[in-house]
Amino acid sequence: MRKNSGLIARHSARCWGEAIRTILCLSLTIAVVVAGAIAEAQQTGKIFRIGFLDVSTASGMAVLIDAFREELTKLGWSEGKSFTIEYWFTEGKNDRLPELAADLVRSKVDLIVVTGGPAPVAAKKATTTIPIVMASGGDPVGAGLVASLARPGGNVTGLSSLNPELNTKRLEILKDAIPRLSRVGLLRSPVTNLQVKEIRAAAPSLKLRLEEIETEPDPKGLEIAFQTANEKQVGAIMTITSTRLFAQRKRIVELANKYRLPAIYFQKEFVDEGGLMSYGVEYDDLYRRAAVYVDKILKGAKPAELPVQQATKFEFIVNVKAAKQIGLVIPNRVLERANQVIK
């Protein structure tokens, strides 16, 4: 019995040893195969080409593009090694959008990132197959870009900045900051859009007369616009939300100060240039979140299945120093609502 037990033990030991050797051999083989696959992927890995389409300028959008690129880096992408960005700007000429969008599609990029305004519509008309990510779209459902926010259903997804609703809020803030205000100048593009309609509807309820001033967002056009605002004796200025106007923020702030006109803007970067007030979305947050969409899509996710997200971070900034320069005293009740007060 003891002899049989010994034979069984020796046999079990041999079997166990062979099993261990088999497992180690298999593990080593798998490791070699995986290492080879990784090395091959690194050598022949695809560099994704991202197209960036916008109606303004490279210099004007630099701060937001930097936020987008930084977030892609944080997500593990390496510019020049795993992705490249090709920039397509109309330089303020909207009529060039269809042509640039078509050229962008013909260049066979892997994905297109668009800003707000007419850029998403132009990109969608140019392609129904290349994924399109909106970094700051307005009303994608109303524009026919997606079937719904929850289920886009096509090749477009991304972020919505809720521009029309925020313009009404800016008008309210202007009235609170300047209680005697009766006439507001609205800098707008020649084409009427949802933002303008929203502001038109809100003005009467605040007992404000709206003076719509069409302007081309270039130095000459803006100078003429502010001259017109001065002639119409408006008590304050606001603008529609536009990347073209954003690109000219420094000049707009300079002119508002020159004509001593209180103004509220749609992005904090206007205040960074010395502007009076801003209320709106944290756009750098939107562009970082757009990078997350790009990351998911390049890894295999389908735009049709990625819900469009709305802006969640808003900020109200007041520059008291700028107010003093134009002789304006902003009520404490307004300052108390601000996320940041610059003194």
Q: Are 111 and 83 in contact (CB under 8 A)?
A: no
What pLDDT score was predicted for residue 142? 86
Given 3.10.180.10, 3.30.300.130, 3.40.1160.10, 3.40.50.2300, which CATH number is that of 163-281+314-342?
3.40.50.2300
The tens digit of pLDDT for each residue in 148-173 reads: 999 999 999 999 987 667 899 999 99
Please report, for the chain, the start and end positions of each structural domain, with discontinuous segments joined by +: 48-161+284-310, 163-281+314-342
Q: For residues 17 and 190, which has the higher predicted lDDT (pLDDT)?
A: 190
Cβ density class 114-128: b for 16+ within 10 Å, e for less? bbbbbbbbbbbebbe
- Average the pLDDT over 244-251 and give the result: 94
pLDDT over threshold 90, residue 107: yes
The domain 48-161+284-310 having CATH identifier 3.30.1360.180: the answer here is: no
Neighbours of 319 (CB within 10 A): 24
pLDDT by residue (tens digit) across 51-66?
Answer: 999 999 999 999 999 9
| Domain 163-281+314-342 in the same topology as domain 48-161+284-310 | yes
For the whole model, what pTM was predicted?
A: 0.78
Among 309, 265, 261, which Cα is nearest to 285's?
Answer: 309
Could you tell me where the DSSP H helices lie in the chain? 2-44, 58-74, 97-106, 119-126, 163-177, 194-202, 219-231, 243-247, 249-258, 268-272, 283-298, 320-325, 332-335
